[in-house]
Amino acid sequence: MNAQIRQWNRRREGGQTIVVALIILGLLLILAFVFLAVINQNIQSTQRQQQRTVANDLAEAGIRYAHAQLLNSELGADWRGQVTTLVPVAGNPNVTADPDALYLRPGSVNLAWPDNPQHRDLGGPDGLGPYFRVPYAGGRALVRVRYAPTDANILAASPLAALRTGAERDYTIIEAIGREGAVNLSDPTKVPSSGAVQYQGFTNTQQLEQALAQMRTNDQQNPGSRRLRAFASIGIIESAWYIHNKDKVSRPAEIGIPDDLGAMLGSDSIGGALPRQYGGAQRLFGQPGQGSFHSNADILLNGIVQFHLNRNLGERVTVAASIKADDDARLELISTQFNGSLWNSTTNTVAGAALDSRNPAFDTFGGVLLDGVADSDASGRARNVAYKTPPSILTKDPDTGELRYRVMSRESGVAARATVNGQVVVTNSGQYGHGRNVYVNNFDDRQVGFDEASRANAGGDESLVYDWLNPGNTMPRSGWKGGFYIPRGATLNFRYDGFEIIRDGRGPDSERVWLTPAGRLPATGADPRIVYRIGIPAGGSQPYIVNSLTPGVNINAENPDFSLGMPFGGVLFFEG
């Protein structure tokens, strides 16, 4: 009996051991799965981080590319990039499988944006315009450049613009989205499996809205995208009044009219002088504020000066130097803000010594009056406005080392091959004045001094001032002809339909007359005069330019064949 009990206990203990072993193996299996999940999560996190790093680099590359084009391309600040044409699927011209369709889609000019019936659909993900694609090794950047001074409707409760304050309206906005991976619609492995989507040809707003929803769903397959936004500062368009002070002169720019001149802008009901007003007025645009004021020079205020500034739009008075005031000066800063239903206006009046930048009590009035002093006002608000470098024709392309305007005129023609002394020479018709922009090689018309500093040196015997004040001098390029001063230079005469350029006959033979696009004397003989006409070819929309030496063009015809010319870029560049 005891032997049977012991044998049964041993069998029972053996079954328990198996159960315990299975439990332990199950726990180990669970831990293994947990461990694998942690490892997988770390791998995915690392991959996402790598994708974001690559996407960030691609987005930054797109920003830098656009900024370089704004600085150095032929269009300069007007450059907006070439729109990427979406490739439709076979059999349906309105449907595409492009993974970036949400950003690249064109506008629907006859439809309103779904969220705002008053806003026309311009394309892209927000109705503000399409992006264009810039390919890079291993990825691409989607880039958009906009100058949108009316982007945000500050009177609306929910403005359409991505940047709702409106303060960005003065700047050119560069947006870039970086995405890893190339796009090749001819390679099925490069196209997402989300399917095609309609991107144009919408008949109503509801159809557009449905397509946008599908595009956004498809776009979620790009989780590693990175979006960057930059602002390009172009001083000439950022302020309603911008004083360049290119030469950084020390004398101040005078604003307003001194009382002792006796001049009045007008008079009020009791006979007093009205102030000089700058900025907006409600009678003109329905809301105060029409732009900021910026000066790179010192300013001297005279009389009564008013600035109407809209705080919602970031308008202010900035001076990258010092502010001074005449004894009779009074400055009135009328700052206006919109609180959602009403305009609230605040007038700050400053007079006398309080207007001087050197006064320890100088007040910025909440940041609407700033000067270039490296200090802060009594409330701790920084001043220290920086000098805004004005646009200059002397800016050189960092890649070529050449002046941008010289390249965009001299190289804007058609390349031609010619045989000179038995050798083949490649020339560009632009160097003879026959390009999209007009180039004039009148180097010798530079009257002494080949830089601005030497020409302005009044004490030097090779300066323009010396030539002006010394009739009959023996300078090699003097403008004096007997008792008459005739400055060296080509003459530009504007006409209603174009212009004409007459070369200076005092230059060398190579600069006295105009040559054909091939660089040869015309069959009609040497002529120092050339006539340019600007017009739009039949059925076109872009202005073209032709001249009296354009082959096949009768320049004196009432309507010459402008299609034989070239698209006009709007630039005339004179070397002299």
Could you tell me the CA-to-CA distances from 59 to 69, 174, 180 in Å, in that order?
Answer: 16, 11, 10
Across the beta sheet with 304-310, what order do the strands follow? 276-279, 304-310, 330-338, 343-351
- CA within 13 Å, CB half, 198: 13
Q: What is the DSSP string of 448-481?
A: S-SSHHHHH-TTSTTSHHHHHHSTT---TT--EE
The two beta strands, 253-255 and 566-567, are unpaired
Could you tell me the CA-to-CA distances from 92 to 100, 110, 118, 291, 366 in Å, in that order?
Answer: 18, 21, 30, 47, 58
The pLDDT tens digits along the chain (576 residues) read: 566 555 555 555 556 777 777 788 888 888 887 877 777 776 766 666 655 688 999 999 999 999 999 888 878 888 899 989 998 988 889 999 899 999 999 998 788 888 777 788 999 998 889 999 999 988 999 999 988 765 544 444 444 445 555 566 678 889 999 998 888 766 655 555 557 899 999 999 999 999 999 999 988 887 778 999 998 887 777 788 899 998 888 899 998 887 666 555 554 444 444 555 554 332 223 345 567 899 999 999 988 888 888 877 778 899 999 999 988 888 888 888 777 677 778 888 888 888 899 998 899 998 889 999 998 888 888 899 999 888 777 788 887 888 888 988 999 999 877 666 777 777 899 999 999 999 999 998 887 665 666 655 645 556 777 888 888 888 877 888 888 998 889 999 999 999 999 999 888 888 999 999 988 899 888 999 999 999 999 888 899 999 999 999 999 999 999 999 999 999 999 998
The whole-number pLDDT of residue 269 equals 43
The whole-number pLDDT of residue 11 equals 57
Alpha carbons 138 and 149: distance in angstroms, whole number: 36
Alpha carbons 569 and 566: distance in angstroms, whole number: 9
How many helices, marked H, and strands, marked E, lie in the chain?
Answer: 8, 31
Could you tell me the CA-to-CA distances from 527 to 129, 434, 530 in Å, in that order?
Answer: 48, 15, 8
517 three-state secondary structure: coil
pLDDT tens digits for 150-163? 554 444 444 444 55
114 backbone dihedrals φ, ψ, rounded to 5°: -55, -35
Best CA proximity match to 159, nearest among 18, 295, 143, 167 = 167
Q: What is the DSSP string of 172-234?
A: EEEEEEEEES---TTSGGGS-TT--EE-S--SSHHHHHHHHHHHHHHHTT-TT-EEEEEEE--
Output the CA angle 369-161-317, nearest 5 degrees.
10
Report the b/e string of 537-557 with b at 16+ CB within 10 A: beeeeeebbbbbbbeebeeee
Alpha carbons 64 and 466: distance in angstroms, whole number: 46
Alpha carbons 453 and 447: distance in angstroms, whole number: 13
Q: How many CB atoms lie within 10 A of CB 292?
A: 23
Alpha carbons 463 and 475: distance in angstroms, whole number: 10
Q: Record the tokens describing residue 337, joined without a space.
A: 């803000």
- 3-state SS, one letter per residue, for 84-122: CCCCEECCEEEEECCCCHHHHCEEEEEEEECCEEEEEEE
Model pTM score? 0.71
Give the largest Cα separation in the chain, rounded.
150
Alpha carbons 40 and 214: distance in angstroms, whole number: 31
The backbone region for 279, taken as left when phi is positive above 0, alpha when psi lies in -120 to 50, beta otherwise, is left
> Cβ contacts of residue 122 below 8 Å, gap of 6+?
107, 128, 129, 130
The whole-number pLDDT of residue 156 equals 46
Best CA proximity match to 404, nearest among 59, 68, 22, 28 = 68
Output the CA angle 315-131-160, nearest 5 degrees.
45
> Cβ contacts of residue 184 below 8 Å, gap of 6+?
190
pLDDT tens digits for 80-129? 999 899 989 888 899 998 999 999 999 987 888 887 777 889 999 988 89
> Cβ contacts of residue 500 below 8 Å, gap of 6+?
492, 493, 529, 530, 531, 532
Q: How many CB atoms lie within 10 A of CB 215?
A: 22
Q: Record the tokens describing residue 333, joined without a space.
A: 């800063």
> Counting Cβ atoms within 10 Å, is residue 125 exposed (0-12), middle (13-18) or buried (19+)?
buried
527 backbone dihedrals φ, ψ, rounded to 5°: -145, 125
